[in-house]
C-alpha cells in the first residue's frame, strides 16, 4: 500500500466515518489492484484506463462474481476521484469504464408466519437467553435495524412514550426509526438488573465484550438458536434476513418505496429499488387471484363466456 492509498483510507475514516470493516474491504481491494499494476511496471496511482480495464477483465477470467467486480470498480472509482480532488492526477481512469451487469436478486425474506414462529420459539430458550432472543428479534423485525445499529443502542434510547428512536447508521448518519410497544416491552424485559453497587451500563444490551455491549456475532448465534428451536433452517435466519423481511412485508402490505428508503436508511433510492421485485410479485398475484379472466397460472383465459 502506498501513501496515496493510505491517505484515501484515512479520508474514509475521518470525513465519511466509514466503519472498520468497510475500510478493511477498501484496503484489500486497493492492494489487489496495486499488485496488478506492479506486475505491469506501474504504480496504482498512475494507472491508465487500459490498465483498469485489464484488471477488471482479469477478475472476469478468474471467475469472480459480477457483484465482486462491481464492488472493486466502485472502490477504484472513489480512490481515483480522491486523487483528482487532491490534485495528485488530473484525470479519472475509471470514468468511462462500464460497471459489470449485476443479476437481479430477490431479498431472502421469511414469511410472516415464520417470523412469528421464530419469536415464539425464542421465548422458550432457557434462562435469560429467551427474553434476550425475543428482544433482538422484535427490534430487528419491527424496525428494520442493521445489526450494527442494534448492538449500539443506548440504554436511554427506549424512552417511555417516544415512538421513534434515533440510531446512528452508515457513514455516521443519524435517522429515526419507529419502535413498536411490543418491541419496546421486550427490550426492557430483557435488560439484566444491575448488580448491587454497580453503575448501570450505558448500552441497551450490555455484555462482557470489549465494547461493553453485545456483539454482532453473538446476535447471529442467538438467532440461529431460535431458528433451530422453531424448526427452521438456521442458514435462513440472520439479522440481515430479518431486515429484508421487515422491508418485504411492509411493501407487500402497501408501503411505498420512498418511505421504505427512509426507514431503511438508504442514501440512494436505487438501493431500495431491489424491493420492486417484491412489489411486482404482489401485483402479479393480485391479478392472478382476483381477475375474472385469469386461469390461476398468471395467464388470461380467452375461452371465457361472453357476458350476457
What confidence tens digit (pLDDT) does each residue in 189-203 have?
A: 998 777 777 788 899
Dihedral pair phi/psi, residue 154, rounded to 5°: -80, 155
Band (pLDDT 50/70/90 cuts) for residue 282 is: low
Q: Is 243 a catalytic residue?
A: yes
Active site residue: 146, 191, 213, 244, which one?
Answer: 146
Active site residue: 89, 170, 224, 282, which one?
Answer: 170
Delineate the domains of the chain, giving CATH numbers in brackets.
3-85 (1.10.150), 112-283 (1.10.443.10)
Say which residues have a Cβ less than 8 Å from residue 214's Cβ, sequence separation at least 6.
151, 203, 205, 206, 207
Band (pLDDT 50/70/90 cuts) for residue 103 is: low
End-to-end CA distance of the chain: 79
Q: Is 184 a catalytic residue?
A: no
Task: Tell the residue number behind the cell numbers 466502485, with chain if given.
Answer: 74
H or E element in which residue 131 lies = helix 129-143
Is residue 245 within 8 Å of 141, Cβ to Cβ? yes
Q: Is 202 a catalytic residue?
A: no
Active site residue: 81, 240, 277, 282, which one?
Answer: 240
Say which residues have a Cβ less than 8 Å from residue 138's Cβ, sequence separation at least 6.
119, 180, 182, 183, 186, 187
Q: Is 208 a catalytic residue?
A: no
Return the SS3 of 245: helix
More confident residue, 102 or 171: 171
pTM above 0.85, yes or no: no
pLDDT digits (tens, 9 = 90+) for 271-280: 787 777 766 7
Q: Is 240 a catalytic residue?
A: yes
The DSSP call for residue 172 is G
Amino acid at each position: 500500500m502506498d501513501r496515496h492509498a493510505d491517505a484515501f483510507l484515512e479520508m474514509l475514516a475521518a470525513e465519511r466515518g466509514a466503519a472498520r470493516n468497510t475500510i478493511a474491504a477498501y484496503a484489500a481491494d486497493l492492494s489487489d489492484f496495486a499488485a496488478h499494476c506492479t506486475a505491469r511496471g506501474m504504480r496504482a496511482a498512475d494507472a491508465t484506463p487500459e490498465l483498469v480495464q485489464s484488471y477488471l477483465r482479469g477478475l472476469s477470467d478468474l471467475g469472480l462474481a459480477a457483484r465482486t467486480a462491481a464492488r472493486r470498480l466502485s472502490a477504484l472509482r472513489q480512490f481515483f476521484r480522491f486523487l483528482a480532488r487532491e490534485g495528485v492526477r488530473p484525470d479519472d481512469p475509471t470514468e468511462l469504464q462500464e460497471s459489470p451487469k449485476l443479476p437481479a436478486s430477490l431479498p431472502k425474506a421469511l414469511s410472516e408466519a415464520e417470523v412469528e414462529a421464530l419469536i415464539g420459539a425464542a421465548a422458550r430458550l432457557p434462562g435469560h437467553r429467551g427474553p434476550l432472543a425475543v428482544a433482538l428479534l422484535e427490534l430487528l423485525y419491527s424496525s428494520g435495524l442493521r445489526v450494527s445499529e442494534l448492538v449500539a443502542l443506548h440504554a436511554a434510547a427506549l424512552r417511555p412514550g417516544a415512538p421513534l428512536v434515533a440510531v446512528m447508521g452508515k457513514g455516521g448518519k443519524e435517522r429515526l426509526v419507529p419502535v413498536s410497544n411490543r418491541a419496546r416491552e421486550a427490550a426492557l424485559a430483557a435488560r439484566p438488573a444491575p448488580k448491587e453497587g454497580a453503575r448501570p451500563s450505558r448500552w441497551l444490551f450490555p455484555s462482557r465484550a470489549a465494547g461493553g455491549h453485545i456483539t454482532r456475532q453473538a446476535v447471529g448465534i442467538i438467532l440461529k438458536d431460535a431458528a433451530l428451536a422453531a424448526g427452521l433452517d438456521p442458514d435462513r435466519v440472520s439479522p440481515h434476513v430479518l431486515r429484508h423481511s421487515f422491508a418485504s412485508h411492509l411493501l407487500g402490505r402497501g408501503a411505498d418505496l420512498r418511505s421504505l428508503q427512509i426507514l431503511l436508511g438508504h442514501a440512494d433510492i436505487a438501493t431500495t429499488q431491489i424491493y420492486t421485485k417484491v412489489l411486482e410479485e404482489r401485483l402479479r398475484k393480485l391479478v392472478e387471484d382476483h381477475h375474472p379472466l385469469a386461469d390461476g397460472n398468471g395467464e388470461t383465459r380467452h375461452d371465457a363466456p361472453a357476458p350476457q
